[in-house]
Structure 1
C-alpha cells in the first residue's frame, strides 16, 4: 500500500461536519416525534392509576355497605352543640365529615382511621396537646384546622396522579367527590350544624329533602343500595374533581355572587358565566359582580378530603364536566358557604373528560360533550312542589339521580 492510499484510508474514519449536522438534525426530528408519544404514554399511565384509585374507593364503599348495610354518610360525625362561630370549635367536627372518612378501614388505611376514631394529643407541627384536653374521637372541625394530624395527611388513594396540586392553602387534598345529584339549590345540608337541633326530626325539611336530594349521597342521612331504584349500574356514585392551583381556574375557584329573583343561581345554572374571561374562558375574568374569596380555603375545590362542604367533597350532575363552578352567597355569608347553594360539577386534568364511579363499582370515562340538557331553562331546582320531575339536564342529569325512574342509555359511554 502506498503512503497516499494509507493516508486516504485513515481520513475516512472521521465524520465530516456536514455528516454530523445531518445526524444531529435526524436525532432532533426523532425526539420531536417521540416526545409527544412519551408524554401521552405517561398520561395514559396516570389515567390508569386514577382509574385504579377509583376502583379501590368503589371496593371500600361496597365493603362498608356489606358491613353496615348502608353507605358511608355525607356530612355526618359529631356535634358539641356550641354556638356561633362553628369554624373554631375543637370539640367536635360539627357534622362535617365526608364519606371518604368512613371507608378508610376498607381501603387499607387502618392507621389513619385509628388516629381519627380515638382521642389523641399529637399536633401536626410535632407539639402535643395536654392529656386533659386531647383531640376528640372523630376529630375536631375540619375547616381551617391544620394542627390535627389526620386532616392534613394526604391519602394517595384519594389523589389523581395527573393533578399537580400540592401544599397550602389546601391540605389533605382529594380528587374524588360524592355525587349529590342534579339538584344544587335544594336543602342539601341546610341544617343547624352549630347546635344540637336535629333537622331529621323536622317534617318540612324531610319532605323537601326527599324531593330535592336526588343523588347517591346527601347531608345527614345515610342511604343504602336499596334506595337506588334506577339501578346501581345506571347511577353515578363518585366523580373526579380538580384541586386548586391558585390560578383562578373556573373549575377550582368558585365565583361567589348573590343575585335574587329569576337570575339567582338556583334558577339559572349559567348565571355565573358572565364572570368568565372572554379571551381565556378557562379562567375567571373581571369579577365586578362576583366576590372571589381568595383567602378562603373552603372555597377551593378538593382542598380537604375529610370535609363535606360541597366545594370540597361533592359534585352535581348539572353543567357538563369541566364547566365553571359557582356559589350563591354573599361575602362573609357562612351559611351560604356551608349549605348547598352552589353548583359544582365534575372536573379533571385528563384530556376531554372525567372518571366517574358507578354504583356497581364500575369506572367510566365521561366526556365533556356528554348530553346535559338545557341548563338555562328557568326554575329547574326540584322541590317538594315538583318532586319526581324528569331531570332537565339530559343524560348527565339522569346519571346523577338514584330513584327518578330514568334509565340512561349506557351505550353513550
Structure 2
C-alpha cells in the first residue's frame, strides 16, 4: 500500500514570487522610512536653531546688545559670536577657558577650538573637525565646525556697499545687525524682527586634513556668518567666497571648488542638506523653512535689517 506524503516547503517559482513581493514591499517602505528619518532630523535642526536664537536673545537681554561678530584684527582670526553665547547654551565650562587676548588660532584656546557642540550641529549634515593629526587626534590647529551662522546682510562678508563691484552683479547693503568691528542691538532691525533673518544653516567642510573653505568654521570671526546675496542652496559663487584647494571639501553638498578669492569678498550662501531649502531663525526668535526656489529679491529683503523693503508673502 502506498502512502502519500504531503508536500512541504516552497517550489523555486513560489520562492521567487515571495522574494519579489518582499522586494516590492521594501521598495515601497524605504522612501517612507527615509522621509520619516529626515523629518526627525529636520525637527532636531529646528530645535537647535531655536535654542541658539534664544541664547542670542538672552545675551541681548543681559548685555543690551547682540553678540559681537568679531574684529578684523589678526585677519579676522578672533573669537566669534559663538564664543560669546556659550554661557547661554549651558557651556560655561568651555567659556571659562577662553583667552580673549589671544587669537582664536592661538595655543591658549584648544578646548574651544576642539569641542563640537550638538546644539550647533545639524543631524542631516556630516560634522567634521578640521586639521586633525594624521592619526585622527586633535592637533594644535584643529578646529570644530558647526551648522549655523548669523546673517550679515544682502552683501558680501566684509559688507561692502558697492555697485557693479565684480562687473556682473550689483548689490546694496541693506544693513546687518552683525558686522565686523561693530556692535549693535535689536533697535537696528527696523524691517521687523519677524521679517528678518538672524541666523541660518551653512554647509560643513568634509575635509579633516585642512582648514580650506570658510563655511561652518563659526569659531572664527571670518567663518561665523553667511550673506543673503545668493539664494539658499546656491552652488555657484560670484567670487572666491567658497575658496578651497581640495575638490572633496564639500562632496556631500556638491559645491564646486574655487581656487581664488578671499573671505572678505565672500558671498557665503545659506545651505543645508535638507531637500528643498534651509531652516532659518528670525530676529523674533521664530524658526521657518525657506525654499531654495524663493525669489532672490524677497530673500535679499529678508536678510537685510534696515533696507525698508516690502516683502510680499
TM category, shorter: 0.7 to 0.9
Q: Which has the larger radius of gyration?
A: 1
- CA apart distance, 1:401: 1.1
The answer on 1:160 being equivalent to 2:155 is no
The answer on 1:65 being equivalent to 2:35 is no
CA distance in 2, matches of 1:221, 1:341: 18
Is the CA contact 2:174–2:305 (under 8 Å) kept in the aligned structure 1? Answer: no
The answer on 1:115 being equivalent to 2:110 is no
- Tell me which residue corresponds to 1:349: 273
- Tell me which residue corresponds to 2:152: 180
Is the CA contact 1:240–1:346 (under 8 Å) kept in the aligned structure 2? Answer: yes
Residue pairs, 1:205-220, within 5 angstroms = 212=173, 214-220=175-181
- CA apart distance, 1:21: 1.8
1:361 to 265, 278, 285: 285
Is the CA contact 2:242–2:268 (under 8 Å) kept in the aligned structure 1? Answer: no
Is the CA contact 2:173–2:304 (under 8 Å) kept in the aligned structure 1? Answer: no
CA distance in 1, matches of 2:43, 2:241: 36
- Tell me which residue corresponds to 1:399: 302
| Alignment coverage as a number of residue pairs | 274
TM-align CA RMSD: 2.9
Instruction: Give the secondary structure class of the aligned counterpart of 2:278.
Output: strand
Instruction: Give the secondary structure class of the aligned counterpart of 1:356.
Output: strand
Q: Report the TM-score, using the length of structure 2 for normalisation.
A: 0.78
Cα distance change of structure 1 residues 43 and 330 upon mapping to structure 2, 3 Å threshold: closer
Is the CA contact 1:74–1:99 (under 8 Å) kept in the aligned structure 2? Answer: yes
Residue pairs, 1:35-114, within 5 angstroms = 35-76=30-71, 86=74, 96-114=78-96
Q: Report the TM-score, using the length of structure 1 for normalisation.
A: 0.60
Q: Which runs of 5 or more structure 1 residues have no equivalent in the other structure?
A: 80-85, 88-93, 117-136, 189-210, 248-294, 373-393
Cα distance change of structure 1 residues 50 and 246 upon mapping to structure 2, 3 Å threshold: same
Is the CA contact 1:216–1:236 (under 8 Å) kept in the aligned structure 2? Answer: no
Is the CA contact 2:151–2:225 (under 8 Å) kept in the aligned structure 1? Answer: yes
- Tell me which residue corresponds to 1:16: 11
- Tell me which residue corresponds to 1:314: 225
CA distance in 2, matches of 1:150, 1:101: 8
